[in-house]
Structure 1
Amino acid sequence: MSGKIKIEQPKIPQDLTQANFQEIYYQDEPYLESCIITNCTIDREKMDKIVLSQVVFKNVTFSDVSFRNIELTDVIFDHCDLTNADFMGGSIHRVEFKESKLLGINLSDASLGNVIFENCNLNLSAFGYSSLKQVRFDHCSLESADYYECKFIKVKFETCRLNEVNFSRTPLKGIDISSSAFQRITVSPEDLKGCEVSPDQAIVFAAMLGLKIKE
């Protein structure tokens, strides 16, 4: 799977209405569409099955939020803070996270398709049991992230920090991590088959497998 992965970008209208997140309470369903939310804090909100479509968040802090089973379609998070946000079970399609802090975010048991994480801090993030299709992590820090028993289809880690990432029970066949850096990751030999790595990474994996390389 060398080379670029084609990822559909969010389909965002040019003229978005400025909105306040509290407007969601005035809808019959927890739903927001075709708007932009900027320079604010969304604090201690807990809603299940919230639906967001064609929404841009810019300079927004999500503090102690739980949006389990969230549906995100055509959404951009630009310079946002989603530390410890709970999006467990979410459906995330055509979404971009740009220059954002996602430390400890919970995306376990979620479905991600056509998603880009660009220059984001995803340390300690949880993706366990998730399905990722056409997803790119570009210049992200993913230290101690958890990808336990995930399904990867056309996923790429481009110049990322992957130290102490857990790939247990996640097949990495065709996944390119060659441009990324780590000292140690957790992965079984059978799941490592077909993974695209650099020569230096191959030496690290050899050491993890107990091989001694003669110079």
Structure 2
Amino acid sequence: MIKGFKIELPKIPSNLERANFQDIFYEEEPYLSNCMITNAIIDDEDINKAVFSKVIFKNVSFINVSFKKIDMTDVIFENCDLSNARLSEGMIHRATFKDCKLLGVDFSEGSLGNVSFENCIANLSSFSDARLKQVIFDSSSLQSANYFDCKLSKVKFYQSDINDVDFTHTLLKGIDISTCTFDRLNVTLESLNGCEVSSEQAIGFATLIGLKVKQ
């Protein structure tokens, strides 16, 4: 975990049983608990209002799956592909996404707490109108991601590519982007008040408002 930044990790039992994800389709309410799903393809499905608790997904493809209003607690996704998956209006707590492909994933209007994204590709993902508390984006690509009108609390972007990210109407006070790389951001000066940046980044922002920085 990043030095000086702590989040609660998923609480996963050590003796999880292997399960077949397709079994969820025979349940009146889609629910998974205390199990591990591996090497599965679950593409183009509608699995709305699902509940996942204490589950590990490894090498699973969820391309273009609808998980709207999902409720996830203590869940790990490892080496999974959730490209264009829809998790809008979801409740996601104590979850880890590690080495995952998250191109175009929709987390809009959701609530994320104690969530980590580690070495993920999440270009074009959307977190618009979402609430993020104690969330870290670590060594991930977030190019052109959308954080429009987000509520961010104790969120850290660490060594990630945030080029062309949209932070419009999102306050960045106390948010650390100092180790990230970008050529441009969509952000207002008011939103940047209190944002933690590197000296090089500060020079770049200064030029945006017409200042001439002498070195």
TM-score scaled by length of structure 1: 0.97
Question: Pairwise mapping of residues 29-48 of structure 1 onto structure 2 (< 5 A)?
Answer: 29-48=29-48
1:185 and 2:185 aligned: yes
Specify the code of the residue in structure 1 equivalent to 2:118: E
1:3 shift after superposition: 5.8
Classify the secondary structure of the residue corresponding to 2:180.
coil
- Measured against aligned partners, the alpha-carbon deviations of 1:10-41 in whole angstroms (never above 9, x if no partner) come to 01111111111111123231111011000111
- Measured against aligned partners, the alpha-carbon deviations of 1:147-194 in whole angstroms (never above 9, x if no partner) come to 000000000001010100000010000111001111110111111000
Count of residues in correspondence between the two structures: 214
Question: Pairwise mapping of residues 33-182 of structure 1 onto structure 2 (< 5 A)?
Answer: 33-182=33-182
Specify the code of the residue in structure 2 equivalent to 1:98: K
Q: Structure 1: any 5+ residue segments left out of the alignment?
A: none
Runs of 4+ in 1 over 6 A off after TM superposition: none
1:4 shift after superposition: 2.2
Q: CA-atom RMSD, angstroms?
A: 1.2
User: Aligned partners of 1:17 and 1:23: how far apart in 2?
Assistant: 14
Question: Pairwise mapping of residues 198-213 of structure 1 onto structure 2 (< 5 A)?
Answer: 198-213=198-213
Question: Contact 1:55–1:74 (CA<8 Å) still a contact in 2?
Answer: yes
User: Aligned partners of 1:135 and 1:102: how far apart in 2?
Assistant: 16
Instruction: Work out the percentage of aligned pairs sharing the same amino acid.
Output: 56
Classify the secondary structure of the residue corresponding to 2:62.
strand
User: Aligned partners of 1:193 and 1:3: how far apart in 2?
Assistant: 24
User: Aligned partners of 1:128 and 1:110: how far apart in 2?
Assistant: 9
Specify the code of the residue in structure 2 equivalent to 1:15: N
Classify the secondary structure of the residue corresponding to 2:25.
helix
User: Aligned partners of 2:43 and 2:119: how far apart in 1?
Assistant: 24
User: Aligned partners of 2:80 and 2:94: how far apart in 1?
Assistant: 17
TM-score scaled by length of structure 2: 0.97
Question: Pairwise mapping of residues 13-32 of structure 1 onto structure 2 (< 5 A)?
Answer: 13-32=13-32
- Measured against aligned partners, the alpha-carbon deviations of 1:30-86 in whole angstroms (never above 9, x if no partner) come to 111011000111021102211111110001111221110011110000000110100
User: Aligned partners of 1:179 and 1:45: how far apart in 2?
Assistant: 38
User: Aligned partners of 2:77 and 2:16: how far apart in 1?
Assistant: 15
User: Aligned partners of 1:159 and 1:208: how far apart in 2?
Assistant: 23
Larger relative contact order, structure 1 or 2 (CA cutoff 8 Å, min sep 6): 1
Classify the secondary structure of the residue corresponding to 1:204.
helix
1:213 shift after superposition: 1.7
Question: Contact 1:183–1:204 (CA<8 Å) still a contact in 2?
Answer: no
Specify the code of the residue in structure 1 equivalent to 2:173: K
